[in-house]
Amino acid sequence: MLKHQETNMAYPSTHKLTVVHISAHSPSIGASLVAAYLRVPFRCSIEKLTAVANGAITAADCSIAVALNGAAIGGSPFTLPVAGAGAGQVASMTPTAKTYANEDDTVSFTPSGSSGGRLGASQDVAYGSSSAASAAFGAQTYKVRLVATTDCRIRISDGTPTAVATDTYLPALAAEYFTVTPGQKVAAIQVSSAGTLNVTEVS
């Protein structure tokens, strides 16, 4: 005589039927940082926000700022860490305050801080108490990596920029990534001592 017995499998978590998952996609959170947007389909409360990486990031954590109609959601930004980064990596946040949205509202996910892609042409710019500018960036360059040997101020713009003491501060030996337009240049001026700015194009 055989006895049939069924065992119910425990699900890791359950969701009410009123819980809906909505997705948005960014084509890049690495070499070229691109924001993702989604439309809210009906009046609701936002309970959780999650990001899933589609590939590796390098250099630094990816900070993801989340906003509802342009206003930051409590608890934003959250971080997708560079440690262990790779396709399928998950990071999430729960809003710190109850957040309600209406139909046709927009939620944005704006990445920053991370990088990826290939390193391309590199040049060194010697700067001092007077501003010095780089050569123009390549025709397909939309991001550059900058690192300086001493504290300096930098300016990125069309033509030949002139950096001044109130421009963006770049600390010594701290690599930073900046979004640029092909053909632009970067200029640097010392804070207190002369140095060299390394400019590397990222594709």
- For residue 170, CA distances in Å to 7, 69, 111, 120, 146 come to 62, 32, 21, 21, 9
pLDDT at residue 174 in the model? 86
Q: In the chain, helix, strand, coil percent, each to 5?
A: 0, 40, 60
Q: Which amino acid is at 36?
A: A
Report which residue type is found at 111: P
What CATH number was assigned to the domain covering residues 119-202? Answer: 2.60.120
Summarised one tens digit per residue, pLDDT across range 128-170 is 999 999 999 998 888 888 999 999 999 999 999 999 999 999 9
Strand-pairing partners, residue 198, are 124, 147
Query: Three-state SS across 20-69?
Result: CCCCCCCCCCCCCCCCEEEECCCCEEECCEEEECCCCCECCCEEEEEEEC
Model confidence pLDDT, tens digit, residues 14-46: 767 788 888 888 877 766 678 889 999 999 999
d(CA 151, CA 87): 36
Question: What is the torsional sign of CA 7, 9, 15, 17?
Answer: negative
Q: In this predicted model, what pLDDT tens digit does every residue of 66-120 receive, in sequence order?
A: 999 999 999 999 988 877 667 788 899 999 999 999 999 999 998 887 766 567 8
**Residue boundaries of the structural domains of the chain:** 36-112, 119-202
The whole-number pLDDT of residue 8 equals 56
Q: Is 142 helix (H, G, I), strand (E, B) or coil?
A: coil
Q: Which pTM was predicted?
A: 0.52
